């Protein structure tokens, strides 16, 4: 059965037909929005209809519905992580990326295991608990064994007040056998972006290297799941082709995974193309996505796949990040650097970043800002460590039972941050945010959260349920 998936792909004809649908009628849109409130998700045809909404009043109704779905499923918690770029060596020629092989002016670097440990010590000393490991694709010097050694180093590096408890990875596609090896290294999520689902555009922007093979990349999430990696993350790189097409193709990709494995991706990322050194394409994206359309993308995804996490990186500025948090984003990176060795500002030798960041705030500042607007920053890694992944996670998420775990875990890990790492100002803001959030939770979850926070204040660490 699984072999079949290797031959499955996106049905472009079907997508183009859906995109030609007549301008949406307000009655039909309100019917879709009302259905989405039942939290069962939406079909591709619904997504196409919502994507065509332009009327500002209807758009606001759509945003309001997305905000309410987000609030019902995720409450106030917001997961935080930091990317860790370990190498910018790359053999591919992706025209939008600063790391592409042909960018001869880029300062290149592969971090040694000691340098990785140094970076991790800096991140843990700031309070991070979750890392997204990122690397270019270079089999000869940064192949799978290097990645596995890097993950091992990250987990083993412990500073006085903390350690990394979950390592997600964003690396080039592997074979099923190699994914099995990666799983043994205890990764959380395996993340891989298709960049563009539009085959012709894919061919035009990936001109050489292994990544030029569309199907090898498209089937990577399936191979990872086949190898037993339950949590996979997917997404397009918005700006390469029409976002409406990408959204519908993403829906098809999700449904193919659901059909095959009974569960879709754990997360969807929504990167927008950002300027990158040595890339004319990134400087002037062929299908630039406006801020309003970007908010539409997040809102539609929230309604279409309500239980799938949505990740936003520091590519976006603080203002856009705050607006989309309410609409559906459930995880954000904070205090990020996209150059290998970028957290260690004391060293002399530097490597160049992958792309420009839109949000330059440090972790503590991000935490203060999001807590001020009512969010509870979460460093929780409980599900992954208790084996609540893939289908097991969705079985708890869909009836809403997961909030009995996620909400208290967010509070206890935030309390840990406030005790060990926060500035005075952030601590004051954070304590108020915790009290407000616990009051707003279902009584049993609020009680559990307060008890767990008290344990942390008494000196216990890594408290989760």
Q: Which residues bind ligand SAM (CB under 6 A)?
A: 96-97, 99, 134, 136-137, 170-172, 192-193, 195, 237, 271, 273-274, 276, 282, 315, 354-355
Q: Which is nearer to ligand SF4, 134 or 437 (CB)?
A: 134
Q: How far apart are CA 220 and CA 13, in angstroms?
A: 23
Q: Which is nearer to ligand SF4, 18 or 220 (CB)?
A: 220
The entry of ligand SAM, ligand SF4, none near residue 171 (CB within 5 to 8 angstroms by kind) is: ligand SAM
**Which pairing describes strands 232-234 and 267-269: parallel, antiparallel, or unpaired?**
parallel
- Minimal distance in Å, beta carbon 131 to ligand SF4? 17
The entry of ligand SAM, ligand SF4, none near residue 100 (CB within 5 to 8 angstroms by kind) is: ligand SF4
- Minimal distance in Å, beta carbon 269 to ligand SF4? 13
The entry of ligand SF4, ligand SAM, none near residue 230 (CB within 5 to 8 angstroms by kind) is: none
In contact, 305 and 264? CB cutoff 8 Å: yes
What's the distance, CA 431 to chain centroid? 27
The length of the chain in residues reads 465
Q: Which is nearer to ligand SAM, 235 or 377 (CB)?
A: 235
Q: Which is nearer to ligand SAM, 106 or 406 (CB)?
A: 106
The entry of ligand SAM, ligand SF4, none near residue 303 (CB within 5 to 8 angstroms by kind) is: none
- Minimal distance in Å, beta carbon 17 to ligand SF4? 31
Q: Which of 193, 192, 188 is nearest to 130 (CA)?
A: 188
Phi/psi at 132 (5° precision): -110, 110
- Minimal distance in Å, beta carbon 245 to ligand SAM? 17
The entry of ligand SF4, ligand SAM, none near residue 310 (CB within 5 to 8 angstroms by kind) is: none
Q: How far apart are CA 38 and CA 464, in angstroms?
A: 30
Q: Which is nearer to ligand SAM, 195 or 407 (CB)?
A: 195
Q: How far apart are CA 267 and CA 239, in angstroms?
A: 20
The entry of ligand SF4, ligand SAM, none near residue 193 (CB within 5 to 8 angstroms by kind) is: ligand SAM
Per-residue buried b or exposed e for 67-94, using 16+ beta carbons within 10 Å of the residue's own CB: bebbeebbbbbbbbbbbbbbbbbbbbbb
Residue 204 has a CB neighbour count (10 Å cut-off) of 15
Note the residues at the interface with ligand SF4 (CB under 6 A).
90, 92, 94, 97, 99-100, 136-137, 211
Q: Which is nearer to ligand SAM, 97 or 144 (CB)?
A: 97
- Minimal distance in Å, beta carbon 378 to ligand SAM? 24
- Minimal distance in Å, beta carbon 118 to ligand SF4? 22
With a CB cutoff of 8 Å and minimum separation 6, the contacts of 375 are 76, 77, 78, 325, 433
Q: How far apart are CA 170 and CA 234, in angstroms?
A: 10
- Minimal distance in Å, beta carbon 71 to ligand SF4? 34
Tokens for 43, please give them: 């079909």
Q: How far apart are CA 155 and CA 159, in angstroms?
A: 11
- Minimal distance in Å, beta carbon 351 to ligand SF4? 13
Q: How far apart are CA 44 and CA 430, in angstroms?
A: 40
The entry of ligand SAM, ligand SF4, none near residue 276 (CB within 5 to 8 angstroms by kind) is: ligand SAM
Q: How far apart are CA 39 and CA 82, in angstroms?
A: 30
- Minimal distance in Å, beta carbon 417 to ligand SAM? 27
Q: Which is nearer to ligand SF4, 135 or 422 (CB)?
A: 135
- Minimal distance in Å, beta carbon 223 to ligand SF4? 17
Tokens for 395, please give them: 């079985």
Q: Which is nearer to ligand SAM, 70 or 337 (CB)?
A: 337
The entry of ligand SF4, ligand SAM, none near residue 406 (CB within 5 to 8 angstroms by kind) is: none
Tokens for 389, please give them: 């992944």
The entry of ligand SAM, ligand SF4, none near residue 189 (CB within 5 to 8 angstroms by kind) is: none
- DSSP per-residue codes, 237-277: -BTSS-HHHHHHHHHHHHHHHHHHHSS--SEEE--B----T
In contact, 62 and 296? CB cutoff 8 Å: yes
The entry of ligand SF4, ligand SAM, none near residue 134 (CB within 5 to 8 angstroms by kind) is: ligand SAM
């Amino acid at each position: 059965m699984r072999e079949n998936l290797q031959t499955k792909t996106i049905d472009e004809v079907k997508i183009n037909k859906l995109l030609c649908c007549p301008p949406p009628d307000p009655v039909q849109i309100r019917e879709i929005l009302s259905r989405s409130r039942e939290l069962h998700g939406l079909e591709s045809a619904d997504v196409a209809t919502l994507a065509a909404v332009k009327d500002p009043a209807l758009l606001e109704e759509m945003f309001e519905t997305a905000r309410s779905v987000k609030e019902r499923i995720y409450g106030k918690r917001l997961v935080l992580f930091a990317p860790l770029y370990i190498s910018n060596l790359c053999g591919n020629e992706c025209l939008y990326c600063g790391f592409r092989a042909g960018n001869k002016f880029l300062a290149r670097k592969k971090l040694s295991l000691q340098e990785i440990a140094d970076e991790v010590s800096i991140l843990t000393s700031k309070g991070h608990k979750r890392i997204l490991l990122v690397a270019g694709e270079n089999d000869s010097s940064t192949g799978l064994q290097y990645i596995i050694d890097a993950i091992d180093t990250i987990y083993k590096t412990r500073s006085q007040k903390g350690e990394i408890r979950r390592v997600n990875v964003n690396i080039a596609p592997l074979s099923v056998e190699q994914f099995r090896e990666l799983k043994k290294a205890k990764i959380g999520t395996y993340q891989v972006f298709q960049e563009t689902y539009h085959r012709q555009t894919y061919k035009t922007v990936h001109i050489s290297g292994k990544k030029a093979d569309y199907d090898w990349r498209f089937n990577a999430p399936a191979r990872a799941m086949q190898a037993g990696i339950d949590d996979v993350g997917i997404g397009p790189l918005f700006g390469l082709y029409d976002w409406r097409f990408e959204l519908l193709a993403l829906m098809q990709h999700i449904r193919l995974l659901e059909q095959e494995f009974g569960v879709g991706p754990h997360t969807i990322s929504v990167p927008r193309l950002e300027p990158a050194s040595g890339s004319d394409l990134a400087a002037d994206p062929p299908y630039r996505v406006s801020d309003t359309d970007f908010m539409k993308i997040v809102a539609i995804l929230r309604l279409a796949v309500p239980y799938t996490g949505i990740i936003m990186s520091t590519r976006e500025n603080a203002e856009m990040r705050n607006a989309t948090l309410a609409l559906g984003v459930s995880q954000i990176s904070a205090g990020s650097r996209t150059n290998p060795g970028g957290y260690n500002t004391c060293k002399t030798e530097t490597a160049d970043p992958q792309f420009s960041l839109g949000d330059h705030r440090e972790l503590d500042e991000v935490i203060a800002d999001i807590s001020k607007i009512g969010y509870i920053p979460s460093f929780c890694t409980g599900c992954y460590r208790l084996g609540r992944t893939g289908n097991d996670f969705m079985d708890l998420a869909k009836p809403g039972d997961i909030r009995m775990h996620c909400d208290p875990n967010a509070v206890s890990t935030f309390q840990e941050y406030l005790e060990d790492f926060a500035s005075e100002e952030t601590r004051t803001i954070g304590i108020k945010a915790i009290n407000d959030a616990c009051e707003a939770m279902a009584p049993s979850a609020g009680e559990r959260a307060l008890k767990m926070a008290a344990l942390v204040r008494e000196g216990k660490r890594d408290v989760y349920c």
